[in-house]
Amino acid sequence: MQQLTKSWLRASDHLANSVLEANRATLAALGFNNGSRSETKQTKPNVKSVAYDEQDWTDTRTVESPEDIQTGDVVTFSKTISEEDVHSFARASGDTNRLHLDDSFASETRFKGRIAHGTLVSGLISAALARLPGVVVYLSQDTRFLSPVEIGERLTAEVEVVEVLDTNRFRLSTAVTNEDEEAVIDGEAVVLVDPTPDGDE
């Protein structure tokens, strides 16, 4: 029993350290240093949402207040998937599959070259949801991966409210498209939208 307890504690410590390192890598990839946002990476917060923006990013939305969200409202978010994004995501997530990182290896696969991580690409859906007004809490996401994404492609995530489930719970269609407007991901999400905390405009 004592040996089992020691093994469990070692495994727990390893998991906690892995999560900590992944969080640190994610913060570094997003431009945070020592708990503060780097001035070279950050622009001012988008005052209409709780998300920060970068130069390459664009977004749109059809609703400005959490209380006004209704069926048919749409939010979009666009960015280019860069080499840096792929390497930062690999470090943050631990997904170091050579398909995403090794040109020689990837050239011998069905894709004939490196592709972006599917979960990195689907993260653009989360980025679009973050630009809904209010504080968005993910409850579920169903995702279908339809097409690979090459590094350097500019993508657009679009989320549309398709059902109001409760006063602050919504079901949304979710999609990511490439520059040719071809879907690379589709699915649906359920989110909870809380009001923005007092003091934040």
- Taking only the tens place, the pLDDT of each residue in 101-122 is 999 999 999 999 999 999 999 9
Element containing residue 136 per DSSP (H, E)? strand 135-145
- Taking only the tens place, the pLDDT of each residue in 17-36 is 444 454 444 445 445 444 44
Q: Residue 172: how many CA atoms within 13 Å on its side-chain side? A: 32
* Cβ-Cβ contacts under 8 Å for 112 (sequence gap 6 or more): 106
Task: Find where tokens 């609703």 sit.
Answer: 63
Q: Can you tell me the distance from the alpha carbon of 153 to that of 115, in angstroms, rounded to the nearest whole number?
A: 10
Render each residue's pLDDT in the chain as its tens digit; 201 residues. 555 445 544 544 544 444 445 444 444 544 544 444 333 333 343 435 556 667 789 999 999 999 999 999 999 999 999 999 999 999 999 999 999 999 999 999 999 999 999 999 999 999 999 999 999 999 999 999 999 999 999 999 999 999 999 989 999 999 999 999 999 999 999 999 999 887 555
The predicted model scores a pTM of: 0.73
- The candidate with the shortest Cα–Cα distance to 166, out of 141, 137, 191, 138, is 191
53-194, CATH topology level:
Thiol Ester Dehydrase; Chain A (3.10.129)
Instruction: Determine what percent of the chain is predicted with pLDDT higher than 70.
Output: 72
Q: Sheet containing 169-177: which strands, arranged edge to edge?
A: 58-61, 74-80, 154-164, 169-177, 183-194, 135-145
- Tell me the torsion sign for CA atoms 93, 94, 95, 99: positive
Q: Rg of the Cα trace of the chain? A: 19
Q: Can you tell me the distance from the alpha carbon of 36 to that of 153, in angstroms, rounded to the nearest whole number?
A: 30
Give domain limits for the chain: 1-31, 53-194
